[in-house]
């Protein structure tokens, strides 16, 4: 199963705006997603934006990226404008529905 569009978008943005190469950018975003309990294959634009704002800032700063807060806020703002593509149903969605 391929990575979600929101994940690819944020990785590409980080690669373009920082000194991180493709592998490092994707690895950094994956670490942030893992901390958030999310999966790169099913993350939505809204979730990706929150991760960028709340977790990615520190991850980029720890890799020596200057002004990571501004970069992440801009990426988050753009990520929110992405239109999420409905993928496979997540366990969250199923268990929410089962609660009635």
Partner 1 sequence: MTRVLDAFLLASTLAFVLAGAVVGARLLLLSARTRELSDFLVGFSLFDLSAIGYPLILLGSLGDLSLAHTKLAAIASSIAIALGWAGVFLFTQRVFRASEAWSRLLAFAGIAALAYGLVAGILFIQQASDAAALLSTRNPTRFLSIAAVAAYVWTSFEGFRCWDQARRRLKLGLADPLVVNRFLLWGCIGVSSLMSVVPSLVILHSGGDGSTDFASRISTALGGLIASIALQLAFLPPAAYRRWLTRHASV
Binding positions for partner 1, rule: CB under 8 A: 1, 35-38, 41, 47, 50-51, 54-55, 88-89, 91-92, 94-100
Q: Residue 1 Cβ, how far from partner 1 at the closest point, in Å?
A: 4
Q: Residue 62 Cβ, how far from partner 1 at the closest point, in Å?
A: 18
Contacts 24+ apart (CB under 8 A), 32-35: 32/56, 32/59, 33/7
Nearest by Cα to 68 from 10, 14, 9: 14
5/66 with CB nearer partner 1: 5
Q: Residue 89 Cβ, how far from partner 1 at the closest point, in Å?
A: 7
């Amino acid at each position: 199963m391929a990575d979600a569009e929101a994940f690819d978008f944020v990785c590409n943005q980080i690669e373009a705006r920082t000194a991180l190469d493709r592998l490092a950018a994707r690895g950094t975003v994956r670490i942030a997603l893992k901390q958030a309990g999310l999966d790169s294959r099913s993350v939505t634009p809204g979730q990706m934006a929150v991760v960028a704002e709340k977790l990615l800032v520190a991850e980029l700063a720890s890799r020596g990226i200057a002004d990571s807060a501004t970069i992440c806020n801009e990426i988050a703002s753009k990520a929110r404008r992405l239109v999420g593509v409905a993928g496979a149903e997540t366990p969250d969605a199923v268990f929410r529905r089962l609660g009635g």
